[in-house]
Structure 1
Amino acid sequence: MVLAITNAFVTLGVADFPKVIDFYRQFLNQEPQPFIPNVYGEFLLTGGLRLGIFRPKAEHFLEFSNSAQSGMSLCLEVESLENAIAHLTTIGYPPPGEITIASHGREISAYDPAGNRLILHQSTS
């Protein structure tokens, strides 16, 4: 039997749904589509990747209450790292560290309101 995957997207379960939705609205400069208030919102990223934000049901709430411990990172390639840092700072979430140099380019880590790590990366091409 072959597993036939028809689609894939990233989802984040968050306790403070309105705050995290608002962060991604501002950060990505778009409205979530589809959007169900206090339940689910989805953002379309470059290349067709979708980012879903959901509020866990009460019986699963504890599983998602400490997402800062997660090893998951959302890596986003940007045209200008300086512009991305300025944008995050403007919306109230400045990256806590400095730009680092990696084999694939320059990068910096930032965090959304739920503590999910964002790796902003600028290629050296």
Structure 2
Amino acid sequence: MAHPFGTQTVRRKQDLFSKKDKYGKTVNIDRTIIDEVEKIARNRNTSMAAIALAWLKTKVTAPIVGATKVHHLDALEEAIKINLNKEEVHALEAPYKAHDLEGVMADNRNREHNWTQYLINDSEK
């Protein structure tokens, strides 16, 4: 969400699992949202990271942000000042489709005492 679609960062170059198995499967869904983040950022003359964090602010009271670089804190400071309007929030959320679990979460799906047991209706038991 912090870079235009297709941007090659050091992390993306090193994270082979993400490209092939995780994000590669949902690229058509994710691209629409990433493009919308970029559009809103451009319209508001701010970073995509600030827009993504401003959206997060509409969902939780106290987001926990892990910053490892100064520009991460700059984006957070900018996001605090941004209040997305209803149209912007809708534009970011409308194309979203839930992704299947990947990695460790998917591996744990088949365990006997898994969280999915709580998703079964009482009538199915």
Same-fold status (TM-score > 0.5): no
Structure number having the greater strand percentage? 1
What interval of TM-score do these two structures reach, taking the shorter chain for normalisation?
A: under 0.3
Bigger relative contact order, structure 1 or 2 (CA pairs below 8 A, ≥6 apart): 2
Is the radius of gyration larger for structure 1 or structure 2?
A: 2
